[in-house]
């Protein structure tokens, strides 16, 4: 096992380097970088961050800006050095877990991630727990009642929910329940009210749940189908195996056969996905959901960083999330052995 873990850890290094190198190379050819944006601001042509793509397309050189100023701007952002030297310096910093400093927020990337993470954690964890707490019992019930009217009706419901994009459902929820054309039962934006600090403990809990209801509903509905159908198919496959027929032939009750014999084997493909799903809940932010409900999370941070060409944030978060993803994948593979001792590393 330890040899397998060591080999997987060593393979993470070239994978991580390849992802960073590919992204870094692509960045070198993307127009509208921070130097061009600063030059545009000095010329008074554009001072906003949302039009970075348009600025890149319309940039036509210095056009009157002093050459010394341009060189100073390049030194400010570190573009006075060759690309390979900048890449090597970046890798050295990442080896020390120094993700750099944002060009536009003027904060360390670590600080930005920590600031935005609570919103993403709120959405992700609620989505994770609600998805599994509802989908696994529902999948088991569908497997036990396979072919029944209950099975057909629930399949229709979860598949319709899967087919509706989260942001479309979010728009519908806002129109129906957040002061659109009908009632205003829920707030339009943020995770808490402005006076949240003055509320009692119970008041804070109620206020938080009041704000999080619509975003979580829009996020969680589409995730039911995959987990529910995976659970159902896994249980159906186990129920039809010979050892289940043998247990029934020995006179064991249906409940005992289901929970003592089928349950553990059927949950193997689901349990092994827990680590990646749980860790992903912290970082898998939805840009559209966050934008729709005015939530300032990692999804919006990533989008704004790309638009503004904030390369330290883009590359720093990419490095962090890729590293977490690779480690999580290793943990998921190790869970196979923990759940099913028949699995061998060789």
DSSP letters, 50-96, are TTHHHHHHH--S-TT--HHHHHHHHHHHTTTS-HHHHHHHHHHHHHT
Confidence tier at 66 by pLDDT (50, 70, 90): low
Find the angle CA(268)-CA(266)-CA(156) to the nearest 5 degrees: 115
- Check residue 11 and give its pLDDT: 87
**Residue 293 · residue 188 · CB < 8 Å:** yes
- Check residue 54 and give its pLDDT: 44
Token representation of residue 112: 């930005």
Q: d(Cα 243, Cα 257) in Å, to the nearest integer?
A: 10
- Check residue 153 and give its pLDDT: 92
| pLDDT over 70 at 15, yes or no | yes
Find the angle CA(123)-CA(220)-CA(268) to the nearest 5 degrees: 100
* 116-145 average pLDDT score: 86
Confidence tier at 52 by pLDDT (50, 70, 90): very low
Confidence tier at 107 by pLDDT (50, 70, 90): confident
- Check residue 46 and give its pLDDT: 53
Higher pLDDT, 311 or 60: 311
Q: Element (H or E) spanning 326, and its range?
A: helix 311-339
Confidence tier at 59 by pLDDT (50, 70, 90): very low
Q: d(Cα 281, Cα 169) in Å, to the nearest integer?
A: 20
Domains and CATH numbers, the chain: 24-107 (no CATH), 110-339 (1.10.3720.10)
- Check residue 44 and give its pLDDT: 64
| pLDDT over 80 at 71, yes or no | no
**Residue 172 · residue 181 · CB < 8 Å:** no
Q: d(Cα 263, Cα 108) in Å, to the nearest integer?
A: 47
- Check residue 89 and give its pLDDT: 87
Identify the three-state secondary structure at position 232: helix
* 336-342 average pLDDT score: 70
For 82-107, b where at least 16 C-beta lie within 10 A, e where not — what string?
eeeebbeebeeebeeeebbbbbebee
| pLDDT over 50 at 245, yes or no | yes
* 170-181 average pLDDT score: 80
- Check residue 101 and give its pLDDT: 86
Q: d(Cα 322, Cα 18) in Å, to the nearest integer?
A: 11
- Check residue 45 and give its pLDDT: 56
- Check residue 55 and give its pLDDT: 45
Identify the three-state secondary structure at position 328: helix
pTM: 0.71
* 202-206 average pLDDT score: 86
- Check residue 284 and give its pLDDT: 62
* 207-235 average pLDDT score: 86
% residues pLDDT > 90 (the chain): 2
| pLDDT over 50 at 321, yes or no | yes
Q: d(Cα 115, Cα 102) in Å, to the nearest integer?
A: 13
Q: Which residues contact 134 (CB under 8 A, 6 or more apart)?
A: 224
Confidence tier at 56 by pLDDT (50, 70, 90): very low
Weakest-pLDDT range from 9-18, 73-82, 121-130? 73-82
Q: d(Cα 71, Cα 161) in Å, to the nearest integer?
A: 54
Give phi and psi for 178, each to the nearest 5: -125, 35
| pLDDT over 80 at 19, yes or no | yes
**Mean pLDDT, the chain, whole residue set:** 79
| pLDDT over 60 at 51, yes or no | no
| C-alpha distance from residue 103 to each of 1, 115, 178, 314 (Å) | 44, 17, 36, 11
């Amino acid at each position: 096992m330890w040899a397998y873990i060591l080999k997987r850890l060593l393979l993470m290094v070239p994978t991580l380097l390849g992802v960073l190198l590919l992204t870094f190379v692509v960045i070198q050819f993307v127009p509208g970088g921070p130097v061009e944006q600063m030059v545009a601001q000095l010329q008074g042509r554009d001072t906003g961050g949302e039009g970075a793509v348009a600025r890149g397309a319309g940039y036509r050189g210095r056009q009157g800006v002093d050459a010394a100023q341009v060189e100073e701007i390049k030194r400010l952002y570190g573009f006075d050095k060759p690309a390979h030297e900048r890449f090597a310096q970046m890798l050295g910093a990442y080896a020390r877990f120094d993700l750099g400093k944002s060009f536009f927020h003027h904060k360390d990337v670590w600080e930005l991630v920590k600031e935005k993470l609570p919103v993403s954690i709120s959405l992700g964890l609620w989505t994770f727990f609600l998805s599994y707490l509802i989908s696994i019992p529902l999948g088991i019930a569908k497997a036990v009642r396979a072919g029944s009217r209950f099975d057909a009706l629930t399949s229709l419901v979860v598949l319709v929910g899967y087919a509706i994009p989260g942001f479309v459902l979010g728009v519908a929820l806002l129109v129906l329940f957040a002061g659109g054309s009908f009632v205003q039962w829920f707030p339009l934006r943020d995770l808490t009210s402005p006076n949240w600090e003055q509320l009692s403990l119970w008041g804070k809990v109620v206020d938080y749940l009041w704000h999080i209801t619509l975003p979580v509903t829009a996020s969680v509905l589409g995730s039911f189908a995959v987990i529910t159908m995976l659970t159902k198919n896994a249980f159906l496959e186990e129920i039809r195996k010979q050892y289940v027929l043998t247990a029934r032939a020995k006179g064991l009750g249906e409940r005992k056969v289901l929970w003592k014999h089928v349950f553990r084997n059927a949950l193997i493909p689901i349990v092994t996905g827990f680590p990646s799903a749980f860790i992903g809940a912290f970082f898998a932010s939805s840009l559209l959901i966050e934008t729709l409900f005015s939530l300032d999370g990692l999804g919006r941070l990533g989008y704004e960083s790309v638009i503004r060409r904030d390369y330290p944030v883009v590359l720093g978060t990419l490095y962090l999330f890729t590293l977490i993803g690779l480690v999580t994948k290793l943990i998921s593979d190790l869970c196979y052995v923990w759940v099913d001792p028949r699995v061998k590393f060789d």
